[in-house]
Amino acid sequence: MTQDEDHLRLLTIFHYVVAGLAGLFACFPIIHLVIGLVFILAPHKFEGKGEPPPAWFGWLFVIIASVFITLGWIFAGFVFVTARFLARRRRYMFCLVMAGVECLFMPFGTVLGVFTIIVLMRESAKQLFTANNPLQPTAVRSASRGGSP
């Protein structure tokens, strides 16, 4: 096993871990979702302490929490798919773009994204992806190696 293959294997494992963490962190706004639903469905629970909050306030909680949960789960799904592509040495550009996007997920995604970019920018790692892509046309394959079509 070459050094690049070993690094890609480790990156794959860490991508699965970060995908799980991202999915877990995306569940935190469920608390706000529940609070918003209580504001909407049971405003009488707040009558003893003055006037109950308006319904739009509950809807604001529900909508914002739903957006954050959905975006977090989508991000976690993309990180999981990136791990699958890294393991199979497929979709080089997708993996590289997701490594950049992962840098926004601090601190774990930042570290993982930077290391992924470093490994993927090596010419030997690019060749591992090119060798595993049988659907790539021969003209593009030979041009990426510096040869003529």
Over residues 109-125, the pLDDT tens digits come to 999 999 999 999 999 88
pLDDT at 4: 84
Query: Rg of the Cα trace of the chain?
Result: 22
Count: domains in the chain: 1
Q: Which two tokens stand for residue 142?
A: 């030979």
Query: pLDDT band at residue 55, thresholds of 50, 70 and 90?
Result: confident
Residue 45 lies in a domain: yes
Encode pLDDT of 131-140 as tens digits.
877 665 554 5
Encode pLDDT of 56-89 as tens digits.
889 999 999 999 999 999 999 999 999 999 999 8
Residue 63 lies in a domain: yes
Q: Which two tokens stand for residue 40?
A: 């909407």
DSSP 91: -
Q: Which two tokens stand for residue 102?
A: 């992962």
Residue 149 lies in a domain: no
Residue 128 lies in a domain: yes
Residue 50 lies in a domain: yes
User: CA-to-CA distance for 109 and 54, rounded, in angstroms?
Assistant: 39
User: CA-to-CA distance for 115 and 82, rounded, in angstroms?
Assistant: 14
Residue 76 lies in a domain: yes
Measured distance between the N- and C-terminal CA atoms of the chain, rounded to whole angstroms: 31
> Could you tell me what percent of the chain has a pLDDT over 70?
87
Residue 84 lies in a domain: yes
Q: What is the mean pLDDT of the chain?
A: 87
Encode pLDDT of 43-53 as tens digits.
777 766 677 77
Identify the residue whose tokens are 């976690």. 76
- Give the residue numbers spanning the domain of 17: 3-144
pLDDT at 138: 53
